Amino acid sequence: MKRGKVLIAERIDEAGIELLKKEMDVDVCFDICREDLLNRIHEYQGLIIRSDNKINKELLDKAVNLKIVGRAGNGVDNIDIPEATKRGVIIANTPDSNSISACEIAIAHMFAGSRNFTYADEYLKGGNWGREIFMGNELYNKTLGIIGLGRIGALVATRMKAFGMKVIAYDPYILGERYKRYNVEKKETLEELLKEADIITIHTPRTKETIGMIGHEEIDMMKDGVRIVNAARGKLMNEAALYEGLKSGKIKSVGLDVHEQEPRTDSPLYEFKNVTVTPHIGATTVEAQQNVGMTIAQQVINGIKGELVPNAVNLPGITREELREMKPYIELMEKLGKLYYQLNTQPVKYVDISYWGDLVSVDIDILQRSFIKGLLEPVGKEKINYINAMIIAEQNGIGIRQERMTEYNNNYSNLITVKITNNKNEKFTLAGTVSNKKEGKLVEIQGYEVDVKPSRYMLFVQNRDVPGVIGQVGTIVGTENINVATMQVGRKAKGELALMILNVDDEVSKESLEKFKTVENILEANTIIL
């Protein structure tokens, strides 16, 4: 297979670059300018960025070979995800890799603010000695208000509990169970949190809803002497409102790792000694960068090779562990999907998928995507992958229905049955299972019960159920030099049509297929590539 080509457009850790180079051709152009990026993007299957580059329609229109954008970090607000999804471009980030570092910088700003750290440092180094002007507050026994109890918010909660703080949180999108797990008091409204907290820290993504979440009105609701920290994203807090709050003395300190404009080196806020600022360095630690670099490199490799990417943000959320568990089912579904158009030419109208037995709690969204990817790949004019599979199915007018069945079917602990209805209202049925050895098996096709572990190359032969056909197939296989790995014969009832399924080592040529078709009792012979 030809090596993929990756452009690393923003700095990532050397270990990640080395990992990529083992499998891909890599161009490292940290700080590439927009014009160069637009001119060169068509060359690449993979692009790695952080937050400086905008991945929008303008760029995606030119990125004709792009399969994956790896966001080395967490926030994806610099990427137009719907545009990428339409084109089947995977967007993957590294959500867990820098969370601890981001959490620690938020906490550092809390301490810096409550103990006047940066001002005291500047004062002393400036040749002054003084203590009274640096009167601070303990965090102990104070109330910390966390807006957004996701990954980083929860890490902050756990750590600040250890400092003896009471922790309250507002996050309307999580279940009550999560508040209990972190021993955090749930606030039903933002207003409640704002009124009760001595220190407020925000850990939400930047969305239409969260931009400007803390403005003049919200600051008015806060306690006098409140301290505020933002290490999530610029624009979540209105800086003009923070300025006024600081000026009036309502706000005792502000700590910002993120800013309304980035990069930026000046702001009215810098006139205050009780404002601590850092240039968006939440993730700038050796540990975070190593984690981020290695994780994003591996994801980009997976994406270019067409494998599933655990942290793809435009795919249903699936963790690395879940992916390991699901892999045999995903591969099986893709293979089942690939069978239809290699055995049939009529366009598909509906696909009905039923999940039986132990599959009652698995993520069926990823399984239907895998099936559709496999189904449309042999006939797809456009590139199809897990990301755009459902969009392309819709564009092709294919209706998909799925159901989970709690009961066991035919004594299989897990079984996936698929019924395809085509344009002529003909039905095509398939079923597969994953064995205890974690091997995907085809166990039914068009009413024939079989037990086949599908290989890359296969031969399907349909014949009359009369003596001698197996021998004739054996002879042709020998004369055509087709090496057979396994062979299965299935029939519905004695004397009816039978089906032979052979796993073979190489693709069966058209010429060889014609030889099978010359045998009197053979009705159909098909070569299959999975």
Q: Where are the extended beta strands (E) located within 260-413?
A: 275-277, 348-357, 399-405
Pick the closer one to ligand MLT by CB: 276 or 311. Answer: 311
173 binds, among ligand MLT, ligand NAD, none (CB under 5 to 8 A by kind): ligand NAD
Chain residue whose CB lies nearest ligand NAD: 150
- Name the pairing type of β-strands 143-147 and 199-202: parallel
Residues of span 17-46 touching ligand MLT by CB under 6 A:
none
Q: C-alpha distances in angstroms, 118 versus 82, 112, 199, 278?
A: 42, 7, 18, 11
Contact 465, 489 (CB under 8 A): no
**Cα angle, residue 446 at apex, residues 444 and 447 outer, rounded to 5°:** 65
**324 belongs to the catalytic site:** no
Amino acid letter for position 10: E
The only residue of 118, 210, 291, 299 in contact with ligand NAD, by rule CB under 6 A: 210
262 contributes a contact to ligand NAD by CB under 6 A: no
Residues of span 73-102 touching ligand NAD by CB under 6 A:
74-75, 95, 98-99, 102
**Cα angle, residue 243 at apex, residues 240 and 247 outer, rounded to 5°:** 145
Q: C-alpha distances in angstroms, 441 versus 152, 170, 324, 411?
A: 42, 48, 18, 15
**233 belongs to the catalytic site:** yes
Q: How many positions of this chain bind ligand NAD (CB under 6 A)?
A: 32
**Residue 119's closest CA among 252, 242, 224, 222?**
252
Structure tokens at 69: 């954008």
295 contributes a contact to ligand MLT by CB under 6 A: no
**To the nearest whole angstrom, how small is the minimum distance from the Cβ of residue 283 to ligand NAD?**
4
Contact 499, 315 (CB under 8 A): no
How far, in Å, CA of 21 to CA of 16, rounded? 9
Q: List residues bridging with 488 in a β-sheet.
A: 501
**203 belongs to the catalytic site:** no
Residues of 46-73 as b/e, b for ≥16 C-beta within 10 angstroms?
bbbbbbebebeeebbeebeebbbbbbbb
203 binds, among ligand MLT, ligand NAD, none (CB under 5 to 8 A by kind): ligand NAD
**To the nearest whole angstrom, how small is the minimum distance from the Cβ of residue 102 to ligand NAD?**
3
Q: Which of 262, 271, 287, 439 is catalytic?
A: 262
- Name the pairing type of β-strands 497-504 and 166-170: unpaired
500 contributes a contact to ligand NAD by CB under 6 A: no
The only residue of 282, 328, 374, 440 in contact with ligand MLT, by rule CB under 6 A: 282
98 contributes a contact to ligand MLT by CB under 6 A: yes
Contact 452, 336 (CB under 8 A): no
The only residue of 74, 204, 388, 417 in contact with ligand MLT, by rule CB under 6 A: 74
Q: Which of 71, 87, 206, 233 is catalytic?
A: 233
Q: 223: which DSSP letter?
A: P
Q: By CB under 6 A, which span of 24-32, 70-78, 120-128, 350-358 interacts with ligand MLT?
A: 70-78
**To the nearest whole angstrom, how small is the minimum distance from the Cβ of residue 292 to ligand MLT?**
7
The only residue of 283, 353, 372, 430 in contact with ligand MLT, by rule CB under 6 A: 283
Q: 388: which DSSP letter?
A: T
Q: Where are the extended beta strands (E) located within 270-330?
A: 275-277
Beta carbons within 10 angstroms of residue 316's beta carbon: 12
- Residue window 169-188: x/- pattern of binding to ligand NAD, with contact defined by CB under 6 A: -xxxxx--------------
Pick the closer one to ligand NAD by CB: 103 or 442. Answer: 103
280 contributes a contact to ligand NAD by CB under 6 A: yes
205 contributes a contact to ligand NAD by CB under 6 A: yes
The only residue of 47, 84, 149, 200 in contact with ligand NAD, by rule CB under 6 A: 149
The only residue of 50, 186, 203, 441 in contact with ligand MLT, by rule CB under 6 A: 50
Pick the closer one to ligand NAD by CB: 104 or 334. Answer: 104
Q: C-alpha distances in angstroms, 381 versus 370, 384, 499?
A: 18, 9, 31
Which stretches within 49-150 are classed as H helix? 57-62, 81-86, 99-114, 117-125
**To the nearest whole angstrom, how small is the minimum distance from the Cβ of residue 66 to ligand NAD?**
23
Contact 65, 303 (CB under 8 A): no
**To the nearest whole angstrom, how small is the minimum distance from the Cβ of residue 257 to ligand NAD?**
5
Pick the closer one to ligand NAD by CB: 316 or 399. Answer: 316
51 binds, among ligand NAD, ligand MLT, none (CB under 5 to 8 A by kind): ligand MLT
Q: How many positions of this chain bind ligand MLT (CB under 6 A)?
A: 8
How far, in Å, CA of 204 to CA of 145, rounded? 13
Pick the closer one to ligand NAD by CB: 98 or 289. Answer: 98
**To the nearest whole angstrom, how small is the minimum distance from the Cβ of residue 207 to ligand NAD?**
6
51 contributes a contact to ligand MLT by CB under 6 A: yes
Q: Known catalytic residues?
A: 233, 262, 280
Binding site for ligand NAD (CB under 6 A): 74-75, 95, 98-99, 102, 147-153, 170-174, 203-206, 209-210, 231-233, 257-258, 280, 282-283
Binding site for ligand MLT (CB under 6 A): 50-51, 73-75, 98, 282-283
